[in-house]
Structure 1
Amino acid sequence: MRPILTLTVNPALDVSTSTEHVVSEHKMRCGRSRLDPGGGGVNVARVVQRLGGQALAVYTAGGPTGEAFRRLIEAERLPTLAVPIQGSTRESFTVDENGTGKQFRFVLEGPELSEPEWQNCLNIVGESIPVGGYVVASGSLPPGVPDDFYARVTRLAHGRDARCIVDTSGPALAAALEEGVYLVKPSGRELGELVGATLDTEQNKIDAAAELVARGSAEVVALTLGGAGAVLASTSGIIRLGVPQVKVQSTVGAGDSFLGAFVLRIAQGHPVDRAFRAAVAAGSATAMTPATELCHRADVERLEAELVALA
């Protein structure tokens, strides 16, 4: 298996709970709360480990929430490198409304990083990128970090003959694509912004994904289409895949689980279609779990088998 490194510049201590109804100006008595170490790259590494692999998770941490975050992630025995910062690691808050089944997600702004802090993070990543391996740079950039941060990470990866996967949005994603990455997973709206078009049909979205590949911006573009399934565009062509029917409890972390399963299967030497199938299974398995819980290996393997049967 080729080594995997994940990067989370703006991790979050995920707090989740539930209440009967969300009502303005009222005290809402909540059920038990749950704490999880969250953030794109951290979740990717956690899923890789749950599915039997291993990844080194590099993340920033500071303040009391950063210390709580560190304790939680260490309890999972995940290989990590924590980059110290002065500001306090942010929190995210998820509330399930029991009376309606709705979910409310509150994502707080991250701490501002000084130039020496984000430069230190970049230096640590550059020293840690595995030669010939995979780098997953995922999540938003906190205040103070330049838009081309992930583009710099991509250049560092190229310098070590590593494949870079970038999962973010806006200017940070556009800058990374100018360097040429291995895989991106934009939403339909983000894909439209990248190609400068309004994508109002499924075929338009598929064509736009193929255009990113043709441009050389990404070798692989993953696009989920809700109940219609998912599409993977690559230099080998277009792969369509239906999604397994599951009871959705929460979609938090489903995208990170998709990436975790995909990069693990690719790192293990499996072909792209097998990795794509595992990714769809992992995203669906995470949607089956409550709040901020991630997928379970048994569910992923069962859904993978179902997808094989549907093919």
Structure 2
Amino acid sequence: MSSILAIALNPTVDVSCDTARIQPMHKIRTTNPRHHPGGGGVNVARVLTALGERPALAYCQGGAAGSLLHDFLKQTSIDLHSFQIAGDVRLAFSVLEETSGFEYRFVPEGPTVSEAELAHLFDFLKRSNAGYVIASGSLPLGAPVDTYARMAEIAREKGARFVLDTSGPALTEALKRGPVFLFKPSIGELQKLAGRELSEKDAIEEADRLVTSGIVEFVALTLGTKGALLVGNGICERVPAIHVAAKSAVGAGDSFVAAMVFALNQGHGIKEAFRFAVCTGAAAAMTSGTNLCNPADVEMLYLADCKTRKTLPAIKIGAS
């Protein structure tokens, strides 16, 4: 099995398109239709593959959309492990309004899963020998709120590093119990967790609180147009945002997580992995719809970052 396992409990088939203008009560004609497998863990696995890794992906599959999702994924080199559910995998939609440049995203809740259905995935996780386990995305309806917390405990028992990118009650529960090697919140998610608005100084203190509690080893906090912060193990590093011609926000966070784990799995240090992740997240914003990042864009941005730092590029895309 791959050394990296991504988990997608609530995957999607992502449908994206463009239109000149969105008008209420009008039939909206669209162009440039695109269809991709999506959802947090799926996107992470797709980006890892694009960078040169061959990850494993454990995901729920059900209904006609689930069959379509599986067909899309079979066209990749991802090591697939699907788990059948009775409900239908969700369809998510994003529409780019060309006149304004605004992107409209419609994301349904998705199917309800039973604990019996999830039990098969837990059994699989217990048999896995992956060095990194990445839990990314929302929990499906019906999943116990401690689902990710239980996964973190299994990863610890297996000696794996658990990476978490989620929000809401599932996040709160996971951070009560840990252990989490890497937690990747956005500033909005960290503010919800803290229950208040946070200045950058406050955000650093909140991230440090999570680290000093012993639950989280590293926090990689994305700040949107203000860049990103890495906190943990005596490190507090801020990387400014890379300004690009953004076409879509879809998958930027997933690309960030995938890139960071990709670099760490190659044996690079946490700081270098963090900077590479910032470059990859920016590259994802350069692509339209649900295309995620282009490896050539990642390489271009990373080489530019290395040039600015007057250092040789350490991370090799296409090599794992």
TM-score range for the pair, normalised by the shorter chain length: over 0.9
Corresponding residue number in structure 2 for 1:187: 186
Corresponding residue number in structure 1 for 2:39: 39
**Separation in structure 1 between the aligned mates of residue 50 and residue 189 of structure 2, nearest angstrom:** 29
Q: TM-score if structure 1 supplies the norm length?
A: 0.95
Alignment check: 8 A CA contact 2:54 2:77 kept = no
- Percent identical: 43
Q: CA deviation at 1:129?
A: 4.2
Corresponding residue number in structure 2 for 1:213: 211
Secondary structure of the equivalent of 1:82?
strand
Corresponding residue number in structure 1 for 2:318: none
Corresponding residue number in structure 1 for 2:69: 69
Alignment check: 8 A CA contact 1:244 1:306 kept = no
Secondary structure of the equivalent of 1:32?
strand
Secondary structure of the equivalent of 2:32?
coil
Secondary structure of the equivalent of 2:106?
strand
* 1:112 equivalenced with 2:116 (yes/no): no
Corresponding residue number in structure 2 for 1:143: 141
Corresponding residue number in structure 2 for 1:293: 291
Corresponding residue number in structure 2 for 1:96: 96
- Runs in 1 of length 4+ with deviation above 4 angstroms? none
Q: Which amino acid aligns with 1:100?
A: S
Q: CA deviation at 1:226?
A: 2.2
Corresponding residue number in structure 2 for 1:82: 82
Alignment check: 8 A CA contact 1:250 1:287 kept = yes
Corresponding residue number in structure 2 for 1:155: 153
Q: CA deviation at 1:197?
A: 4.1
Q: CA deviation at 1:42?
A: 1.0
Unaligned regions of 5+ residues in structure 1, if any? none
**Separation in structure 2 between the aligned mates of residue 245 and residue 114 of structure 1, nearest angstrom:** 43
Alignment check: 8 A CA contact 1:6 1:57 kept = yes
**Separation in structure 2 between the aligned mates of residue 250 and residue 31 of structure 1, nearest angstrom:** 16
Q: Which amino acid aligns with 1:82?
A: S
**Separation in structure 2 between the aligned mates of residue 109 and residue 164 of structure 1, nearest angstrom:** 25
Given candidates 239, 243, 266, the residue that maps to 2:237 is 239
Alignment check: 8 A CA contact 1:88 1:111 kept = yes
Secondary structure of the equivalent of 1:33?
strand
**Cα deviations across residues 174-198 of structure 1 (Å, max 9, x unaligned)?**
1111222011111223213334443
Q: CA deviation at 1:308?
A: 2.0
Corresponding residue number in structure 1 for 2:317: none
Q: Which amino acid aligns with 2:271?
A: D
Alignment check: 8 A CA contact 2:92 2:106 kept = yes
Corresponding residue number in structure 2 for 1:52: 52
**Separation in structure 2 between the aligned mates of residue 88 and residue 228 of structure 1, nearest angstrom:** 38
**Separation in structure 2 between the aligned mates of residue 110 and residue 251 of structure 1, nearest angstrom:** 21
**Separation in structure 2 between the aligned mates of residue 169 and residue 106 of structure 1, nearest angstrom:** 18
Given candidates 275, 280, 292, the residue that maps to 1:282 is 280
**Separation in structure 2 between the aligned mates of residue 291 and residue 197 of structure 1, nearest angstrom:** 32
Q: TM-score if structure 2 supplies the norm length?
A: 0.93
Alignment check: 8 A CA contact 2:44 2:254 kept = yes
Q: CA deviation at 1:217?
A: 2.1
**Cα deviations across residues 209-239 of structure 1 (Å, max 9, x unaligned)?**
1221111121111112222221111113101
Alignment check: 8 A CA contact 2:156 2:179 kept = no
Q: CA deviation at 1:241?
A: 0.9
**Cα deviations across residues 133-182 of structure 1 (Å, max 9, x unaligned)?**
00001100111001100001001100100000011001101111122201
**Cα deviations across residues 242-282 of structure 1 (Å, max 9, x unaligned)?**
22221101010000000000001111110001100110011
**Separation in structure 1 between the aligned mates of residue 112 and residue 129 of structure 2, nearest angstrom:** 25
Alignment check: 8 A CA contact 1:129 1:135 kept = no
More deviation, 155-164/234-243:
234-243
Q: CA deviation at 1:310?
A: 2.9
Secondary structure of the equivalent of 1:118?
helix
Q: CA deviation at 1:77?
A: 2.4
**Cα deviations across residues 80-116 of structure 1 (Å, max 9, x unaligned)?**
1011111111010000011111100000111111221
Q: How many residues align?
A: 307
Corresponding residue number in structure 1 for 2:265: 267
Secondary structure of the equivalent of 1:21?
coil
Q: Which amino acid aligns with 2:186?
A: S
